[in-house]
Chain A
Amino acid sequence: MIRYLVEGIKRACGLHSPGRNLAILPDDIFLVSYPKSGNTWARFLIANFLYPGQHPDWGNIDRLIPAPEVMSKRDFEKMPRPRVIRTHDAFNPRYKQVIYIVRDPRDVALSQYHHHRKRKLIEDNHPFESFLPRFLAGETNVHGSWKQNVASWLAARNGDPKFLLLRYEDMLLDTPRELSRIGGFLGVEATPERLSMAIEHSSPKEMRRLEQVQADDCGLTKGTRQDLPFVRTAKSGNWRSDMPESSVAAIETAWGSLMQFLGYELAFGDQAGPVESAFPVSAMGGPLR
């Protein structure tokens, strides 16, 4: 009862997190990705690009580019517009302008495994092989499986001019190019100086340095194991060395055709199973590249 009352008072004052009931404004821009797909890096890049004067760090990133599950309704109402809002939600038709970041699910699986260790959800000796089936089934977080999250967005929005699809791997490969695409989407001119400043201040090295001093200032890292970094390798293709072959095969069997659609080469070629991987590429305007 007390709990309900406290919650009720919080709501009356706008101190609760709006979550999926966030009141959306027509010029809102959503930065969306499945968890562990480069969302935090993109957040730093965009924050440094849009608000260089605020010196984005782990202490203010939740305010600059907030998440509806973390910040309060009141915080959202006080933000300058246009707001950039980050979320891991599966498709939501209320989000009209969306930057969606996708990452190779083999790397996402590894990253999420280490993230769960950091958050003390699994032990260090927890075998990856027993984590993976839960990851494939979408049981390791509340945003659906990687495939469900990605497919729900692509199915509904791919090809829409208000939907910018980015691959984490491309962002690593040519950060200035991808960030200037983001700039174009946001309607902000990307001068070379502005780009390089934003990229420099969002480098893994800089993000790690800030993380070390500010881990307690950010909801993402607060209360988690400090011996494991939030900003991990910041690389692509770790699965090639760190993942058991059978696990690679299991991911490709499950999601192979969607991976190929996104341009992720399969290690086991076209042996990918036809069942869950079945994906109507044709209905989305053909492969990406």
Chain B
Amino acid sequence: MIYGVKRVTKYLLGIDIAGRDLAVYPDDTFIVSYPRSGNTWTRFLVANLIHSGQPVTFDNIERLIPDCEAQSSRYLKRVARPRIIKSHSYFDPRYPRVIYIVRDPRDVALSYYDFSRKYRHFDDSYPLQRYIEDFVAGRLLSADWGTWAENVASWAFARAARPGFLLLRYEDMQVRPEQELTRIAEFFGIDASPERLQTAIESSSAERMRKMERTQGKDWVSTKNKRDDIPFIRTAVAGGWKEKLPPESVAEIESAWGSIMAPLGYELVTQGVGRVEPPLAAAAGFVVGKQRE
């Protein structure tokens, strides 16, 4: 009952979290990904690219590119249009324009494990291997976003090759940030000079973001009141799973999601899992190989 009253009051005051109830405008652009897939980095890249006059920080990022799953409906209504909004939502047909970032789920799982401990979803004694089992089976809080495969596949399959949908791989952004940021700039209709791209990339470096997390992390909505011995900005590298993930866990992930991973260009190491015929994979609108042409 008290819970109900609280909800109604929040709704009346417009301070309920927007989430899936967000009022979407036709000129909105969304930066979407599964959690722990480089969304914050992309947010900083985009904000630094578009607002090149001012340094983007954890203090102003919520104003520049608000998080619709952390901010209220009222807050989002007041953001200047056209809005760029950050989201982790599974496929939402209402989102008109979407940049979707996908990351190797083997790295996502590792990162999510640290993140969940930071958020005190469980304590350090929860073994990684059991975590992976629960992560894959969708038994954790993370499953509110769908499982990794559900979130990725629902977007990639529904919007594949459609105008207004840009699929990026975190790994490509790591290897060739200029090229990938150029694609982002084109998506926003910005003709960015190499200097502007370079400045945006440098202003969004992992090092700089780590420094900001140390000084501003206490106030930022995503890090406030969370454990500060585990960083939000973690390794910022691709392939950490090769060293840190037990082979059983790798097999667990690949046997569940291999058929989605392979067409996205993530090489499977477990024998006999998710084999995909190249011509079919090439026919897929979201095959990342296309970008390598």
Contacts and interface: CB of A to CB of B under 8 A. Distances in A.
Interface range on chain B (Cβ under 8 Å from partner): 35 or more
A143 interface: yes
Contact of B145 (A12, A93, A147, A154): A93
Given A11-B11, A12-B4, A20-B21, A280 B284 contact: yes
Interface in B182-236: none
Interface string A139-182: 00011110111011111110000000000000000000000000
A151 B162 contact: no
Interface in A1-56: 4-5, 7-8, 11-12, 20-21
Contacts of B145: 93
A149 B11 CA distance: 29
A279 B160 contact: yes
B21 to A, nearest CB: 7
A125 interface: no
A279 B287 CA distance: 10
B287 A280 contact: yes
A284 B283 CA distance: 14
Contacts of A153: 154
Contacts of A267: none
Contacts of B94: 142
B260 interface: yes
Contacts of A283: 153, 157, 259-260, 262-263, 276, 284
Overall SS of chain B's interface: helix
Contact of A148 (B159, B260, B276): B159
A221 to B, nearest CB: 25
Interface in B117-168: 138, 143-147, 149-151, 153-162
Given A4-B12, A280-B263, A281-B280, A90 B92 contact: yes
Contacts of B151: 93
Interface residues of A, number: 39
Contact of A90 (B91, B259, B262, B277): B91
Contact of A282 (B20, B259, B286): B259
A105 to B, nearest CB: 14
Given A8-B8, A11-B7, A282-B277, A147 B158 contact: yes
B289 interface: no
Contacts of A90: 91-93, 154, 158
Contact of B285 (A4, A7, A278, A285): A278
Nearest to B257: A283
A91 B7 contact: no
Nearest to B159: A148
B5 interface: yes
A154 B260 CA distance: 12
Interface in A209-244: none
B223 to A, nearest CB: 26
B20 A156 contact: no
Interface string A266-289: 000000001110111111110000
Interface of A: 4-5, 7-8, 11-12, 20-21, 90-93, 138, 142-145, 147-149, 151-157, 257, 274-276, 278-285
Query: Which 5 A-B pairs give the minimum distances between C-beta atoms?
Result: A144-B93, A278-B285, A155-B157, A280-B284, A93-B146
Given A12-B8, A153-B154, 13 more contacts: A8-B11, A90-B92, A91-B158, A142-B94, A148-B91, A148-B93, A152-B93, A156-B146, A276-B160, A278-B161, A278-B286, A279-B284, A280-B287
